[in-house]
Structure 1
Amino acid sequence: MKPKNITDIKFDKCEDSKYINPIRMIFKDNGKRRVWDIIEVHNSVATLLYHKDKDSFIFVKQFRPAVYLKEHKDSTHQECGYTYELCAGLMDKEKSAKQTAKEEILEECGYDVKLDNINEITEFYTAVGFAGSKQVLFYAIIDDSMKVNNGGGIDDENIEIIFIKKQEVRNFIFDKSYPKTSGAMFAVLWFLENVK
Structure 2
Amino acid sequence: MEDVKNIRVTPMPESKYVKPLRFHYTQNGKEKNWDLLAVHDSVAIVIYNVTRKVLVLVKQFRPAMHFNSILPEDREKETIDIEKYPPSLGLALEICAGIVDKEKSVVDIAIEEVLEECGYNVPAEKMERIISYRSGVGVQAALQTLFFCEVSDDMKTERGGGVDDELIDIVEMTIPEMEKLLSSPGPVQSPPSFLFAMMWFLHNKASKYIRSFAYTCSECKKHKPTVWDWLIQ
Question: What TM-score bracket applies, with the shorter chain setting the length?
Answer: over 0.9
Shift of 1:7: 1.1
Matched, 1:193 2:191: no
Output the CA distance in 1 between the equivalents of 2:183 and 2:196. 11
Output the CA distance in 2 between the equivalents of 1:183 and 1:173. 13
Q: Residues 84-103 of structure 1: matches in 2 within 5 Å?
A: 84-103=93-112
Matched, 1:164 2:173: yes
| Aligned residue identity for 2:133 | F
1:183 to 188, 193, 203: 193
Output the CA distance in 1 between the equivalents of 2:99 and 2:173. 24
Shift of 1:33: 0.3
Matched, 1:153 2:162: yes
Shift of 1:149: 1.4
Question: Contact 1:72–1:80 at 8 Å: present in 2 too?
Answer: no
* Partner of residue 141, structure 2: 132
SS in 2 for 1:171: helix
2:53 to 52, 55, 58: 55
Instruction: Name the % identity.
Output: 36
Q: Residues 80-119 of structure 1: matches in 2 within 5 Å?
A: 80-119=89-128
What are the ranges of 5 or more consecutive residues in structure 1 without an aligned counterpart? none
Matched, 1:173 2:182: yes
| Aligned residue identity for 1:194 | N
* Partner of residue 78, structure 2: none
| Change beyond 3 A, Cα 1:63–1:174 | farther
Give the structure with the larger helix fraction. Answer: 2
* Partner of residue 144, structure 1: 153
1:32 to 30, 36, 39: 30
TM-score of the superposition, structure 1-length normalised? Answer: 0.93
CA deviation string 1:79-108 (max 9, x = no partner): 110000010000011111111110000000
SS in 1 for 2:68: helix
Output the CA distance in 1 between the equivalents of 2:7 and 2:183. 30
CA deviation string 1:98-139 (max 9, x = no partner): 111100000000000001111111111111011111100111
| Change beyond 3 A, Cα 1:79–1:174 | farther
Q: Which has the larger radius of gyration?
A: 2
| Aligned residue identity for 2:173 | I
Alignment size in residue pairs: 194
What are the ranges of 5 or more consecutive residues in structure 2 without an aligned counterpart? 73-83, 209-233
CA deviation string 1:8-34 (max 9, x = no partner): 111111120000111111110011000
* Partner of residue 81, structure 2: none
Q: What value does the CA root-mean-square deviation take over the aligned residues?
A: 1.9
Give the structure with the larger strand fraction. Answer: 1
Shift of 1:77: 8.3
* Partner of residue 18, structure 1: 16
| Change beyond 3 A, Cα 1:28–1:177 | closer
Shift of 1:76: 8.9
| Aligned residue identity for 2:141 | G
Output the CA distance in 1 between the equivalents of 2:85 and 2:189. 11
Question: Contact 1:84–1:180 at 8 Å: present in 2 too?
Answer: yes
